Amino acid sequence: MSAPQLVVHRDKELMAQAAAARLITKIVDAQAARGSASVVLTGGRNGNALLAALGASSARDAIDWPRLDLWWGDERFLPEGDPERNVTQAREALLDSVPVDPARVHAMPASNGPYGSDADAAAAAYAAELAAAAGPEDHGPVPTFDVLMLGVGPDTHVASLFPELPGVRESSRTVVGVHGAPKPPPTRISLTLPAIRAAREVWLLAAGEDKAKAVTIALSGAGEVQAPAAGAHGRSRTLWLLDAAAASGLPRGLYPPASP
């Protein structure tokens, strides 16, 4: 378990641009070291802002896009192409404008896909896809992701793991169907905390005053069942990328004065 590190940016726009630059560097370094890279994307306003900033960066061409595997931390269980699906938004923000290999874009199943309305079967299929991509060096049922990104909700949820719901208590499965989510749509698919913790680095993104309470709770020793964000950490690094508004409830000593 890695102790959380904090970087606080002046505003959400700078945060998105800096996070995109950080992600480009991490992907390029991973490809140089191992030949390919593996990243887990997040949706929501901060995840999509990061992707848009990456697409607008001249440095994006440093990435060898065909040698990049893209996964998702969660998905709204809606029909393929629905504008609310994370993969739909990611395609619009970035993926349609870069030469990714379609076979390496691992979207979670849609509600009109081969599993129909059975979110649990769709989750099991995604878990099987992850397991098939894992090698002996990963020592587990999911690949060792280079970077796994998570948005932090105002209620401290990450992916689609909500406080007190069964998904956040899951200790063996890597992907679960989520039913009765407190924000629409109620049916979702999500990585579990064991799968999240397989990543080398976990980045938690939060911007805006509406996230300040959640950030403070998660970084103040709360339990993961009550505050799922508190249970999200990487093997080698756990990085909280915040804007000043989201960090406004934290003691100043928690992050360095030099944070941009």
Q: What share of the chain is helix, strand, coil (3-state, %, to 5)?
A: 40, 20, 45
Q: Which helix (H) or strand (E) holds 147?
A: strand 147-151
The Cα–Cα gap between 113 and 99 comes to: 25
What integer pLDDT is reported at residue 254 of this predicted model?
73
Q: Which residues of the chain have pLDDT under 50?
A: 258
Cis peptide upstream of residue 102 (ω within 30 degrees of 0): no
The Cα–Cα gap between 90 and 81 comes to: 11
Structure token digits, residue 162 = 């909500």
What integer pLDDT is reported at residue 252 of this predicted model?
77
Q: Which amino acid is located at 220 in the chain?
A: S
pLDDT tens readout for residues 120-174: 999 999 999 999 999 888 889 999 999 999 999 999 999 999 999 999 999 999 9
What integer pLDDT is reported at residue 260 of this predicted model?
54
Candidates 86, 30, 29, 21; CA nearest to 54 is 21
